[in-house]
Amino acid sequence: MASTFRTIAKYERKILMRSWFFRIFSSLALFVLFVFNMGEISEVGDMRWLYRAIPANMPYANLFLLNISQAIIAVFLSSEFIKRDRKQDTTEVFYVRSMANSTYILAKTWSILSIFLIINVAALAMGLIFNLLALNTWVDWQAYLYYPILISVPTLLFIIGLASLLMSLIRNQALTFLLLLGYILSSLIYLKGTYNYLFDYMAFYLPLFHSEIVGFSNWDTILTLRGMYASFGLGFILLSSIFLRRLPQSRLLNGLSFFLSLGFIAAALLLGNKHLTEYQDSINLPKKMIALNNEFVNHAQIDVESHDIQLKQQKDGFQAVSKLIGLTRSSAQDFVFILNPGLKINAVTENDKPLKFNRNLHLLFIQTDTIIPEGTSVNWTIEYEGTIDENACYPDVDHKVKFEKPDNNLFDIGRNYAFVHPEFMLLTPEAQWYPQPGVGYSDKTPFWYRKDFIDYQLTVKTLPGLNPVSQGQAKQIADNTFTFEREHALSQLSLSIGRYKKSSLQVEDLEFSVFYTEGHNYFESALPDIRDTIPFILKEKLGDFERQTQLKYPFKEFAIVEVPGQFKSYDRTWTSVHQTIQAGMVYLPEKGLYSRYMDFSGYEKRLKRRSRNRNKTPQELQTQVFQSFLSGFFRFKNVNTNSRGNRTEVEETINPYYQFGQFYEMCNNLDSDKWPVLNRIFESYLRIEKTTGTDWVRRSSGSTQNELANMVLQEKSFAEILTLTENLPLIDNVIELKGEMLFSIMQAKAKNDDFRSFVTQVLQENRFKNLDFEDFISTLQAKFGVDLSQDMNKWFNETEMPRYLINTPIAEKVLVGNREMTRVRFIVSNLGEAEGVIKSTLRLEEPIDKLMYLEPGQTKEAFYLSMEKPAGIHFNTLTSGNLPNQLEYTFEGINETGITNARELQVVVDNPIVIKNSGEIIVDNESSGFEFTHYEEVSRLRKWLNPEEEEGFKYKGTRVWRAPLNWTATTGDQFFGEFVRSAFYIKAGDGSKEAKWKIPVSEAGRYDVFYHVYKDDSFGWNRNQKGNYQFIIPHENGTDRPTIELSQDTPSGWTSLGDYEFASDTITITLSNESRLRAVFADAMKLVRMD
Amino acid sequence: MNISIQGLNKIYPNGYQALTDVNLEISEGMFGLLGPNGAGKSSLMRILVTLMKPSSGQVFVNGKDASKNRDYVRSMLGYLPQDFSFFSNLRTHEFLDYAARLAGMNSRRKRSQAVDHMLEEVGLFDVRSRKAGKLSGGMKRRLGIAQALINEPKIIIVDEPTTGLDPEERIRFRNLLARLSSQDVIIILSTHIVADISSTCEHMALLNRGQVAFTGSPEELIRQAQNHVWSIYVTEKEYVEVNQKYQVVATVMMNDGWKVTVVGDEVEGYEAEPIAPNLEHAYVYFVEHTMKNSHSYQS
């Protein structure tokens, strides 16, 4: 049998390897991999740090890419095999030979499998060569073994098995191929990582990242799923030998094959079921936890003053004793705490006397014998042990978000919220590794949130050879036993234990340290030419940040602590600080693998390649590298854009390493029982990096995130939004907008430029303790006479918004005393239902922000002075019904006025701005009289392939380089509009698509016709661009076809189309898309009565 | 060696009855299976080579039930199907080597000798390294014969083996089979070419519409056609009439008309002269004349 097996396998392999299809495919696949390696890994290309930092990623990436193509090609080859068998007479000469059906099928399968293994070896060999040649990395030989076993083998077994089985049953290659291709595409496009990657037979979404600290962190899932697919594959292969159209030779072998195939399929089903059950548990636990939190949110709690935690690390978890001292918040007999449900309580005692307790998932209820009055001191000891159930972490984060594959990497690195591993442990507050009073996240009320500054004591006994890292300075007190000394009370505590080494640098009284795991000290040899200046750069950067925020760094140390690459945290509504940030430290994924800036020498090489850096010294380049590395800690948001068909999506997420949290969140808390979100609002105000509502975002996606947030605010009050689960990605923007609005109102009402200094001073005085919001309001009133308590309710609950009309600002020369200055003046009317503040910024070298407060219906004229000549002025309408919500004006010239004694002031004006004068008729694209021809030109296939392509926001980006084929709404401050400045645009074409304005003319007569011209970006790139807009105007004496010629020199805005005699009727003016320009914009049409 | 076929029936799922109560005894030597297209020859062959199950009835090989001892039967088989195409990417000698290994030749040395010997036998040695896809039609046929004969099978079943061969190749092939049949083997030759049988087979069966119409020696078949083959001289006008009335098996143009050979029990209205039949005449007599009356002749 073995000989027959080998024979069949040998010759079938020969046949396959000689087929052109296979040769072309394999060469192509290897070529793609070659290009990938050249582009991403080699020194010639991008030298992605992700691959070189953790070298196991190199074979992973190669196999990841190869796997996609081999999965498809295996379908074709295996169905081709069976098809060949169906051709009578061809294989019959072999069928009449003495051999078992299972031998035949298994040998054939092995022949396919073996040639794919040959390709895998070839791909890995190529990857290995690039690996050996790559800069600053090494070869992880084991990865070259486990990745093919985990990725290729189960994928191939499964798809070959499924193809063979389907082909045996359906007996039609085309149909089999179509079905399987459908399955593959469905698994890639629709099913993705659903049910925790249950359908991901290709391991396309399944994270298979192998950390150098903890290895595979989801080993159980990997084994279950890959084992399941391998078992299914083997089962299907054996089963297809049963269905083979050849009379069985041996009943025994046939029976054995049948039972074996059933065995494999049953094993696969069991594994699948186990996986599914675990998945269901993982999504049910958060729901149950939230339900419990909702139920017990008002349960009695204590206020902890000091908390002594003694933790003993074990191989599969830890034991801990937690001693809590605090005061009861209310009179009760039963007090609620939270602790991870994976941790089991052994005992609760008070002065060695056992107390009764109850456990319900993550909630711990400690019961006393009698009712304890409010404010009574308690001293309780809780003994517990176990491990961390990660399903209990981030219960508020939707499980779909948790399984999303990030777009920025080829493969998913994975996500873990805590690590409990014999070699490594990471426990952050999210893991709920120590008891905390209260309940966790509730979706019914924001009052679950509490933050207390507590005097924590931590003693840790590690396993031999490991070191703990936590807040404060570690001190060894016995063998493997450490304690931590710190000066302040903290709001949270985290702990990591590993084979840590420490490298530190003292800059004045601040110690910068790096805790790295063994073998990861690559940074020590980096930046050799600036090592002496690094402390100065650090000091300068920190100093700059302190100056800008007017807040001091509160700790004596700052540590970068290396953690496994899978460590993940999410944006939350109640804080902008991620779990990666802890007091005085940041958890960075191993070797900073995600960021090219952590690849110090590699990044320096890349910089050197740029022509503009050719003449720079190594010191200059290294300084630039170090500055880039530091900038990663001072950038608030990561902005990603994704192009989906004609649409661009902008995704803003909080940078998890942004260090502003150290300056506020880790040391201050604005405590408000009524509005817990105020703490975050406060933080949003204090943070100096705002979400960038930059032009390119709106130009490519159609709106800024803040504008979208404004839309949400128009429909729902802030209080309502905070309890919503949808629109979650916008919550930061809503909070930011509301925060900016609240503080802008405070500042505008305070009429004092020192407002920020006042706020930061108050915070400085209240560090490491809670600052009561009521106290803050009183202090504010005492200092500036502003009573905010009246405004808070409105601010929280109303949906009305201000809507502004702003006239064209004018810049002019004036005299102040005998000094010539530039005065900028403009008028703003607030025609909305709510008060508002407009922030105007004069575009100067050092921009100046001015605030203008407007009551509903109020109009004000502002006069601002500046020494320099401003290039323009920028208006930010904050929360408003304006679209775009930020407007930009550029001053063409500065007029001489001869005005003397000019002053800076804002005055209330009686008459609001009007955009339409009497005798004028305007029909804008927003008016009901505007129509356009519509065509559907999206193919069904594209719709099927992009199921997520939704309609989305009404207004799209203004992308003239890839203009839409249908009239598409877009916004911009250069368009005409009352509150919404918008237009429709289309790719210029043959004139088959038209926009029409139906203009009601109530009085017959002669009218001047104007069109509001918009000149898009293409006039900026292409100075020679010329083209026209073609109109059709029917009038009393016939029909005219006037045009507007556009070139670099022609003006934008209202442009005359000539004067015409109109009857008292509705006239229709048409604009066609025929033009030599790139795109045609349909904005507004104006008729002005002449007589 | 003997094969005993008892009460074999084959009804396809679509209801078509390909074989009806076939009983045959086949012993060593060359056995010819003759019959028109659709007579059930291929169905019978496929059952004999264990590619297909009969609907009822049994096949015994050396007394063993073939359906229960497929490994026994297969280990003795050499089979050449009717329409045989190859894996075009294998070289001639590779293909033969593949067949030889599956036929149980495990020794590489012996196999290599056997492959070369067989290639010489069928005249393909010179193209041993050519890919099967590049062989001519006749060469492919010969390669098919070679794979069926490799490793000296005890039962050789060949379906229409000489189709596509030129006369020289056909003679060579017949001689090869004749030589093999002198050894202790059963060769079953299915064909519709009468000459293949007449020159080589000692025993034969005639199959028509799934039934055995005749079994015995070719001479016996010829003998039964005695006095049923006539030679008639006809004018051009009469020729048309004769063609309609009788089964014409040969026509020769003469100076004053046509000399026509017809098959039938008797000829009326013409001057007919009985002639000695050959196997082809006998075959036509049985298939076209006798079987129409649903008679079955057994010797």
Poorest-pLDDT segment among A33-47, A74-88, A272-286, A580-594: A74-88
B81 CB neighbours in chain A (<8 A) are: 88-89, 92-93
Same domain flag for B247 and B170: no
**Contact state of B50 with A248 under an 8 Å Cβ cutoff:** no
Q: Are residues B283 and B150 in the same domain?
A: no
B85 and B146 inside one domain: yes
DSSP class of residue A791? H
Residues of chain B with pLDDT under 50: 294-299
Please list the residues that pair with A647 across neighbouring strands: A644
**Which residue in A265, A285, A270, A273 sits closest to A195, CA to CA?**
A273
Cα separation, A960 vs A967, whole angstroms: 12
Q: Output the pTM of the full model.
A: 0.83
- Are the beta carbons of B89 and A15 separated by less than 8 Å? yes
Scanning every residue of chain A, which has its alpha carbon at the shortest distance from the alpha carbon of B158? Answer: A93
Residues B152 and B33 placed together within one structural domain of the fold: yes
Quick one: average pLDDT of A804-817? 92
Asked if B291 and B208 touch (Cβ cutoff 8 Å), the reply is: yes
How close is the nearest chain B Cα to the Cα of A76, in Å? 17
Question: What pLDDT does B295 receive?
Answer: 42
Which CATH number characterizes residue A677's domain? 1.10.390.10
> Between A and B, how many residue pairs show a Cβ–Cβ distance under 8 A?
78
Among residues B213, B246, B277, which one ends one of the domains? B213
Structure confidence by residue, pLDDT tens digits, A816-857: 988 899 999 999 999 998 888 998 999 888 787 888 999 999
**CA separation for the pair A66, A118 (Å, rounded):** 12
Q: What is the model's pLDDT at position A694?
A: 58
**SS (HEC) of B170-215:** HHHHHHHHHHHHCCCCEEEEEECCHHHHHHHCCEEEEEECCEEEEE
Contacts of A250 in chain B (CB under 8 A): 71
Q: Is B181 on the interface with A (CB under 8 A)?
A: no
pLDDT of residue A953: 66
Let me know whether B41 and B136 are in one domain. yes
The pLDDT value given to residue B263: 87
Task: Examine residue A528 and say whether the peptide bond preceding it is cis (omega within 30 degrees of 0).
Answer: no
Q: What does the alpha-carbon distance between residue A235 and residue A227 come to, in Å, rounded to a whole number?
A: 12
Q: How far apart are CA A249 and CA B224, in angstroms?
A: 43
Q: What ipTM was predicted for this assembly?
A: 0.88
Q: Measured in whole angstroms, how far is the alpha carbon of residue A279 from the centre of its chain? A: 24
> What is the arithmetic mean of pLDDT over A431-459?
92
A567 bridge partner residues: A416
Which residue would you say has higher pLDDT here, A934 or A851? A851
Cα B103 from Cα A99, distance rounded (Å): 9
Q: Residues A208-224: pLDDT tens digits?
A: 999 999 999 999 999 99
A96 touches chain B (CB under 8 A): yes
Minimum-distance CB partner of B147 among A3, A93, A247: A93
Q: Do B77 and A4 touch (CB under 8 A)?
A: no
Question: Per the domain annotation, does B205 fall within a domain?
Answer: yes
Structure confidence at residue A890 as a pLDDT band (50, 70, 90): confident
Q: Chain B contacts of A8, Cβ < 8 Å?
A: 102
Measure the N-to-C terminal CA separation of chain A; round to a whole number of Å: 106
Residues A154 and A267 both lie in one domain = yes
**What tokens were used for A70?**
């081999």
Task: Say yes or no: B229 contacts chain A, CB-CB below 8 A.
Answer: no
The Cα-based distances of A701 to A646, A687, A821, A957, B168 in angstroms read 10, 26, 39, 4, 80
- Per residue in A1015-1055, pLDDT tens? 888 887 788 889 999 999 999 989 999 999 999 888 889 99
At CA A785, angle to CA A779 and CA A790, rounded to 5?
85
The arithmetic mean of pLDDT across residues A615-643, rounded, is 88
pLDDT tens digits for A140-167? 999 999 999 999 999 999 999 998 898 8
Token representation of residue A845: 């070298």
A385 belongs to a structural domain: no
B182 within some domain: yes
| Assigned domain for B298 exists | no
The pLDDT, as a whole number, for residue A300 is 96
Neighbouring C-beta atoms of residue A408, cutoff 10 Å: 9
Point out the residue among A11, A84, A249 whose CB comes nearest to the CB of B98.
A11
**Inter-chain contact B89–A11, Cβ cutoff 8 Å?**
no
Regarding whether B183 and B112 lie in a shared domain, the answer is yes
Last residue of a domain, one of A247, A277, A307: A277
Over residues A409-414, the mean pLDDT reads: 90
**Nearest chain B CA: its distance from A113 CA (Å):** 19
* A729 burial via Cβ count (<10 Å: 0-12, 13-18, 19+): middle
Which strand (E) or helix (H) includes residue A826?
strand A819-830
% chain A with pLDDT above 70 = 95
Q: What is the pLDDT of residue A649?
A: 66
The residues with which A334 forms a beta bridge, in sequence order, are A367
Best of B55, B89, B111 to disrupt the A interface (most A CBs within 10 Å) is: B89
Q: Is A1032 left (phi over 0), alpha (psi -120 to 50) or beta?
A: beta
Domain count, chain A: 4
Nearest CA in chain B to A10: B98
Residue A337 falls within a domain, yes or no? no
Verify that B177 and B263 share a domain, yes or no.
Answer: no
Q: Is the pLDDT of residue A703 over 80?
A: no
Q: Do the Cβ atoms of A704 and A591 come closer than 8 Å? A: no
Mark whether B108 and B60 lie in a shared domain. yes
Chain A contacts of B84, Cβ < 8 Å?
89-90, 93
Neighbours of B229 (CB within 10 A): 25
Q: Which two tokens stand for residue A415?
A: 């996500």
Q: What is the CA radius of gyration of chain A?
A: 34
Single-letter amino acid, residue A848: I
Same domain as A269, residue A167: yes
What pLDDT does residue B44 have?
93
**A426 falls within a domain:** no
The DSSP secondary structure of A73-84, one letter per residue, reads: HHHHHHHHHHHH
A154 and A253 in a common domain: yes
Contact criterion met (CB below 8 Å) for A1057 and A1009: yes
Select from A20, A110, A123 the least CA-distant residue to A70: A123
Domain annotation covers residue B218: no
Report how far apart, in Å, the C-alpha atoms of A354 and of each of A325, A347, A386, A434 are. 16, 7, 20, 19
DSSP state of A211: B
Which residue range is the domain that position A839 belongs to?
A: 804-909
| H-run or E-run covering A154 | helix A153-170
DSSP character string of chain B: -EEEEEEEEEE-TTS-EEEEEEEEEEESEEEEEE--TTSSHHHHHHHHTTSS--SEEEEEETTEETTT-HHHHHTTEEEE-SS----TTSBHHHHHHHHHHHTT---HHHHHHHHHHHHHHTT-GGGTTSBGGGS-HHHHHHHHHHHHHTT--SEEEEESTTTT--HHHHHHHHHHHHHHHTSS-EEEEEES-HHHHHHH-SEEEEEETTEEEEEE-HHHHHHHTTT-EEEEEE-HHHHHHHHHHSEEEEEEE-SSSEEEEEESS---SS-EEE----HHHHHHIIIIIIGGGT-----
Query: At residue A229, does pLDDT exceed 90?
Result: yes
Taking an 8 Å cut-off on Cβ atoms, the answer to whether B98 and A7 are in contact is: yes
Per-residue burial over A590-602, b if 16 or more Cβ lie within 10 Å, else e, is bbbbbbbbbbbbb
Domain match, A925 and A1053 both: yes
Label residue B214 exposed, middle or buried (CB < 10 Å: 0-12, 13-18, 19+).
Answer: buried
Total count of residues recorded for chain A:
1091
Q: What is the mean pLDDT of chain A?
A: 89
d(CA A393, CA A524): 35
Asked whether residue B77 is domain-assigned, the answer is yes
* Residues 6+ away with beta carbon under 8 Å from B217: B202, B203, B204, B299
Q: What would the pLDDT profile of A472-520 be if each residue is shown by its tens digit?
A: 999 999 999 999 988 899 999 999 999 999 999 998 889 999 999 988 9
Q: Does residue B36 sit in the same domain as residue B74?
A: yes
Structure confidence by residue, pLDDT tens digits, A543-554? 999 998 889 999
A288 domain-assigned:
no
Of the candidates A1067, A1065, A1018, the one whose C-alpha atom is nearest the C-alpha of residue A1039 is A1067
Give A791 or A17, the one with higher predicted confidence. A17
Report the gap between the CA of A9 and the closest CA in chain B (Å).
10
Chain B residues in contact with A248 (beta carbon < 8 A): 70
Q: Is A1026 contained in some domain?
A: yes
CA distance A114 to chain B (A): 18
| Matching residue, tokens 């209990």 | A392
**Residue B193 is part of a domain; what is its CATH number?**
3.40.50.300
At which of B167, B186, B213 does a domain end? B213
Helical residues (DSSP H) of A788-874, grouped into ranges: 789-797
CATH number at residue A1058: 2.60.120.260
Distance between CA atoms of residues A514 and A92, nearest Å: 70
Same domain (yes/no): B233, B91 = no
pLDDT more than 90, % of chain A: 56
**Which residues on A lie below 8 Å from B89 (Cβ)?**
14-15, 18-19
Do B158 and B190 lie in a common domain?
A: yes
Q: Looking at the complex, does the CB of residue B195 fall below 8 Å from at least one CB of chain A?
A: no
At residue A976, the 3 state secondary structure works out as coil
Cβ distance B79 to A96 less than 8 Å, yes or no, reads: yes
Choice between A563 and A679, residue whose per-residue pLDDT is larger: A563
Q: What is the mean pLDDT of residues A973-999?
A: 91
* Chain A CB within 8 Å of residue B66 CB: no
Tell me the chain A residues in contact with residue B71 when contact means C-beta distances shorter than 8 Å.
Answer: 98, 249-250
CATH number, position A898: 2.60.40
3-state secondary structure A395-414: CCCCHHHHCCCCCCCCCCCC
Contact criterion met (CB below 8 Å) for A444 and A719: no
Question: Do residues A956 and A1065 both lie within one domain?
Answer: yes
**Counted domains in chain B:** 2
Q: Give pLDDT, residue A933.
A: 79
Residues A792 and A813 grouped into a single domain? no
Contact of B107 with chain A, judged by CB distance below 8 Å, is answered with no
Q: Are A264 and A234 in contact (CB under 8 A)?
A: yes
Q: Touching check for B89 and chain A: CB below 8 Å?
A: yes
Q: Is the pLDDT of residue A643 over 70?
A: no
Where does a domain end: A909, A933, A949?
A909
Q: For residues A82 and A228, state if they share a domain.
A: yes
Q: Which residues of A619-641 are buried (b: 16+ CB within 10 A; e: fewer)?
A: eebbbbbbebbbebbbebbebee
Q: How far is B48 from chain A (nearest CA, A)?
A: 10
Residues A1047 and A1009 in one domain: yes
Exposed/middle/buried for B72, CB within 10 Å: 0-12, 13-18, 19+?
middle
Query: Of B136, B44, B150, B162, nearest to B102 (Cα)?
Result: B150
Cα–Cα distance, A423 to A250 (Å, whole number): 53
- The residue with greater pLDDT, A476 or A916, is A476
pLDDT in tens, B180-219: 887 889 999 988 778 788 778 889 999 988 999 889 999 8
Residue A214 lies in a domain: yes
Distance from CA of A1 to the nearest CA of B (A): 10
Is residue A92 in some structural domain? yes
Using alpha carbons, list the distances in angstroms from residue A1076 to A933, A967, A1024, A1026, A1047: 20, 17, 12, 7, 11
Q: What is the pLDDT of residues A172-199, one digit of tens each?
A: 878 888 888 888 888 888 888 888 899 9
A881 and A950 inside one domain: no
Tallying the residues shown for chain B, one arrives at: 299
Q: Are residues A861 and A713 located together in one domain of the fold?
A: no
Q: Is B184 contained in some domain?
A: yes
Residue A187 lies in a domain: yes
A809 and A792 in a single domain? The answer is: no
pLDDT at A898: 83
Same structural domain, B104 and B171: yes
pLDDT at A35 over 50: yes
Of B176, B195, B213, the last residue of a domain is B213
Instruction: Choose the weakest-confidence range: A59-63, A134-138, A381-385.
Output: A134-138
Q: Are A977 and A1055 contacting, i.e. CB atoms less than 8 angstroms apart?
A: no
Q: Find all residues with CB under 8 Å of A471, minimum gap 6, and list them.
A: A456, A484, A486, A490, A493, A494, A582, A583, A584, A585
Mutate to test the interface with A, among B48, B98, B141, B145 (most CBs of A within 10 A): B98
The answer on A946 and A828 residing in a single domain is no
Query: What is the structure's pLDDT at A645?
Result: 57
Domain of B194?
A: 2-213
What's the pLDDT at A984? 93
Phi, psi of A18 (to 5 degrees): -90, -5
